[in-house]
Amino acid sequence: MFFRMYYCDCRPTEYPVIKAIGGQMLLTSLQLFKNLSDETRLGIVLLLREMGELCVCDLCTALDQSQPKISRHLAMLRESGLLLDRKQGKWVHYRLSPHIPSWAAQVIEQAWLSQQDDVQAIARKLASANCSGSGKAVCI
């Protein structure tokens, strides 16, 4: 039987972060609910659940927010382990991490189901204004 070994990396001015041996961060329920408690971050997560992968400018358009604000929220989601990013030229694309715990995926799925119609309406609107599909050289 395999047991994961954990240790607590406690910092004086921050909440303790629980890490698995090997450096991979484990998502706690507190982190997940803090991340999803913000309307912008919840919108990002639900749109990524619906569309798979989006660039920063697509998220700015969909959520009607500035690029610095969206980027700040994306950084928080990425640091918590919810998102993965990949760079393609000048574009940065984000997607939900396939490595999130199953309980967290179930929470996200239930949130998506409760707002499915709204999220799909935004996704349809975004599909017609998608910067990555419009042939633009850069994401603005």
Each residue of 48-67: pLDDT tens digit? Answer: 999 999 999 999 999 999 99
Whose tokens are 């240790």? That residue is: 7
Share the mean pLDDT of the chain: 81
pLDDT at 127 over 90: no
Each residue of 84-112: pLDDT tens digit? Answer: 999 998 889 999 999 999 999 999 999 99
Per-residue pLDDT, 14: 43
Write down the pTM of the prediction.
0.76
pLDDT at 6 over 50: no
Answer for the pair 27, 100: CB distance below 8 angstroms, yes or no.
yes
Per-residue pLDDT, 57: 92
Name which of 48-57, 69-78, 114-123, 124-133 the model is least confident about.
124-133
Answer for the pair 85, 92: CB distance below 8 angstroms, yes or no.
yes
Average pLDDT over residues 8-29: 52
Predicted confidence band at 131 (pLDDT cuts at 50, 70, 90)? low
Q: Write down the architecture of domain 28-129 according to CATH.
A: Orthogonal Bundle (1.10)
Alpha carbon separation from 39 to 35, 73, 108, 116, 131 (Å, rounded)? 9, 10, 14, 15, 23
What whole-number distance in Å separates Cα of residue 117 and Cα of residue 41?
18
Burial class (CB in 10 A: 0-12, 13-18, 19+), 138: exposed
Q: Amino acid letter at 130?
A: N
* Domain spans in the chain, listed from the N-terminal domain onward: 28-129
